[in-house]
């Protein structure tokens, strides 16, 4: 009748391969990292999809709004490597908790444009700071959780695939929700949805911090061991 099936064979082939190998982490850790990345990057993509039109709705013309966010993106590209260098001293896991705080602070500053009182315009220093923080996070955040995978997965290719599958599913759900919220509540509701997304990222950070592993020296190359055959 054959030997009974191992529990891991009940998993999909991508996730099953992701936890194979001699140096493997539990599948829940890969799922947690994938969920954190999906929520963090997906929520940043929600902001990215509305930012120019939002600025245009607050009095800028379209070219001016595009130049405004492009300048912020340029600064973000410069800041992101500095954050990566900081990881050499702090490690990766502290950044997992810091990201939703910084991104949530940035969207809160930008959300002031939705307030009726006190009046704030797009040239206000707090609004510019919020856009800069979000631009830096858009560059830095997608790479951060992927850098945790080598210490937690047996086969990196399969682990990356599993994380990407989760990301696609969560991002589709988030954008569908954004469309519904914008139709009913406008930009004010969209910003509350994005704030809620970053709150969810902060909650998802807790199990990632508790259960994931990271290399003690993240700047050194990682040797990934997998079974042959």
Fill in the DSSP letter of residue 162. Answer: H
pLDDT in tens, 171-214: 999 999 999 999 999 999 999 999 999 999 999 999 999 999 88
Q: Model confidence at 228, in pLDDT bands (50, 70, 90)?
A: very low
Distances in whole angstroms, Cα of residue 213 to Cα of each of 35, 69, 150, 188: 16, 36, 9, 38
The pLDDT of residue 12 is 55
pLDDT in tens, 9-27: 444 555 555 444 444 446 8
The whole-number average pLDDT for the span 117-140 is 84
Of 64, 60, 14, 17, give the one whose Cα is nearest residue 224: 17
Q: Model confidence at 38, in pLDDT bands (50, 70, 90)?
A: very high
Helix (H, G, I), strand (E, B) or coil at 80: helix
């Amino acid at each position: 009748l054959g030997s009974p099936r191992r529990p891991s064979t009940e998993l999909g082939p991508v996730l099953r391969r992701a936890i194979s190998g001699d140096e493997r982490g539990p599948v829940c850790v890969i799922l947690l990292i994938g969920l954190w990345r999906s929520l963090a990057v997906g929520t940043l993509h929600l902001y990215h999809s509305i930012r120019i039109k939002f600025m245009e709705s607050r009095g800028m013309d379209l070219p001016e709004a595009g130049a405004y966010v492009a300048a912020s993106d340029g600064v973000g590209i410069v800041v992101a490597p500095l954050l990566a260098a900081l990881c050499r001293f702090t490690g990766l896991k502290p950044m997992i908790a810091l990201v939703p705080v910084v991104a949530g602070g940035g969207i809160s500053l930008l959300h002031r444009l939705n307030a009726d009182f006190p009046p704030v315009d797009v040239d206000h220093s707090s609004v510019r700071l919020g856009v800069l923080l979000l631009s830096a996070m858009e560059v830095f955040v997608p790479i951060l959780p992927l850098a945790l995978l080598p210490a937690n997965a047996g086969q990196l290719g399969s682990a990356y695939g599993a994380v990407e599958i989760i990301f696609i599913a969560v991002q589709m759900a988030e954008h569908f929700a954004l469309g519904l919220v914008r139709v009913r509540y406008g930009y004010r509701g969209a910003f509350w949805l994005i704030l809620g997304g970053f709150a969810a990222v902060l909650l998802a950070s807790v199990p990632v911090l508790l259960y994931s592993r990271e290399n003690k020296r993240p700047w050194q190359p990682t040797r990934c061991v997998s079974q042959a055959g």
